[in-house]
Amino acid sequence: MSEHHEHRTAVSLEGLREDDPHLQPAARNPQLVERVIALTLLVGVVLIIGFGAAYWVNAAPWTLGATMGGGLFFLGVGLIAWAKYLMARGPFVEERHVLATSQDDRDAFAAAIVERGGGVVKRRRVLGGLVGGGLGAFGVVALFPLLRSLGPLPKGTLFHTDWRAGSFAVDITGRRVRVGDLAVGSIVTVYPEGTQNTDRGQAVDQTVLIRLSNENFTTQKGRESWGPMGYVAYSKLCTHLGCPVGLYEQQLQLLVCPCHQSMFNVNNGAIPNFGPAPRPLPQLPLYVDAAGYVRAQSDYHEPVGPGFWERA
């Protein structure tokens, strides 16, 4: 029972001679070490009490963090110093047990599964098949309603916005934009009237309205009537990942997406000339009505925002 007695004397601190390599250099004077550690722990205790006091008086957050963090830190340092300098150091050794069991055990285990279980299943194939089939069917059947209840089917949702023929373009406050409102070079984010304060309006219908000149402006062939009085409107959803194309470089006439720096040239139909966006921003055909309001001729002619499988 006491065969390790010799080892005990080798690891207990008092038994160590000055030149024993087990002895930590700092532990040559254990009384001093103990005092330093005690002081460290004491600082920790005081700070923890300080944390309680700071919380009590509702001190600033940094005071709470400083007292709590400092207290835990000093307690931790003291505890580790105690372990490092005053506890047995070793090194100690322990044998690893072989995890693998004997071949007999493995065979018995495998036999129990294969022969016992296999026997049962073989004799009662129909029953086994029914249990397995029933559970499998439950898994499959459960999957569909589970998935299906998570959300509506996409149907045509991604293909349309709330812009309609005749929709008034309004700003975030709901004010209808009139032809005299924007100076050339100005920009405003507009929504089809009624959606400006809705999630869908902000996430899907958001459109940038830019005034590029005082004359009708044609961005591309076939869009001759889309830019009345220099007003041109593009979807504000980046065709890369759907961030709002929120920066307008007036000098370069580029709409810039701050997420991944796609840039769209507003003069030529918002064709991307830099960055990862693969498609131009869809353009909204506009007209100016008799009262001078800027309105949509129709919805966008293509889906807005990032690409998806069903998009042609």
Partner 1 sequence: MSDVVVTKRSKKQAMGKYGRIGKVLDELDDRLGVAKGGRSFLDKIFPDHWSFMLGEIALYSFVVLLATGVFLSLYYIPSSAIVTYHGSYLPLDGQSMTEAYASTVNLSFAVRAGLLMRQMHHWAADIFIGAMVVHMARVFFTGAFRKPRELNWTIGVTLLTLAIVNGFLGYSLPDDLVSGTGIRIAYSIILSVPLVGTYLAFFVFGGNFPGTAVLPRFFILHVLVVPGIMLALVAAHMALLVRQKHTQFPGEGRTEDNVVGTPMFPVFMAKTTGFMLIVTGVTALLGAFAQINPIWQFGPYDASRISYAVQPDWYMAFLDGALRIFPAWSFHSFGHTIPLEVTIPAVIFPGLVFGLAYAWPALERFVTKDVAMHNLLDRPSSRPKRTAAGVAVLAAISMLFIASSTDVIANFFHVSLNTVLWSMRVLVLISPFVAYPIAYKITSELHATRGSGKRKTANVVTRTEEGEYVATAAPAYADDVAHDLAPTPVPQFIETSQPDEEPESGVRAIDR
| Coil vs helix vs strand at 90 | coil
CB 296 within 8 A of CB 286: yes
By CB under 8 A, the count of residues binding partner 1 is 96
Of 33, 50, 71, 293, the one binding partner 1 (CB under 8 A) is 71
DSSP state at residue 254:
E
Q: Which stretch binds partner 1 (CB under 8 A): 106-114, 212-220, 257-265, 287-295?
A: 257-265
The nearest distance, CB 119 to partner 1, in angstroms, is: 31
Of 39, 42, 76, 142, the one binding partner 1 (CB under 8 A) is 76
CB 49 within 8 A of CB 70: no
Q: Which stretch binds partner 1 (CB under 8 A): 136-144, 174-182, 222-230, 270-278?
A: 270-278
For 76, the token pair is 């931790």
Of 141-170, binders to partner 1 (CB under 8 A) are: 147, 150-154, 157-158
Of 100-129, binders to partner 1 (CB under 8 A) are: none
| Coil vs helix vs strand at 30 | helix
Of 1-20, binders to partner 1 (CB under 8 A) are: 1-2, 4-5, 7-8, 10-13
The nearest distance, CB 307 to partner 1, in angstroms, is: 3
DSSP state at residue 168:
B
Report the distance separating Cα 295 and Cα 297, nearest Å.
7
In angstroms, the Cα distances linking 309 to 5, 199, 226, 306 are 75, 24, 29, 10
Q: Toward partner 1, which CB reaches closer, 64 or 121?
A: 64
Helix (H) or strand (E) holding 142: helix 125-150
DSSP state at residue 42:
H
Of 184-243, binders to partner 1 (CB under 8 A) are: 189, 191, 199-200, 202-204, 206, 236, 240-243
Q: Which stretch binds partner 1 (CB under 8 A): 53-61, 116-124, 212-220, 285-293?
A: 53-61
The nearest distance, CB 166 to partner 1, in angstroms, is: 22
Q: What are phi and psi of 153, to 5 degrees?
A: -70, 145
For 95, the token pair is 């044998």
The nearest distance, CB 271 to partner 1, in angstroms, is: 11
Query: Does the protein bind partner 1 through residue 305 (CB under 8 A)?
Result: yes
Of 265, 279, 283, 300, the one binding partner 1 (CB under 8 A) is 279
Query: Does the protein bind partner 1 through residue 180 (CB under 8 A)?
Result: no
Query: Does the protein bind partner 1 through residue 172 (CB under 8 A)?
Result: yes
Residue of 265, 292, 293, 270 lying closest to 283 (CA atoms): 270
CB 30 within 8 A of CB 86: yes
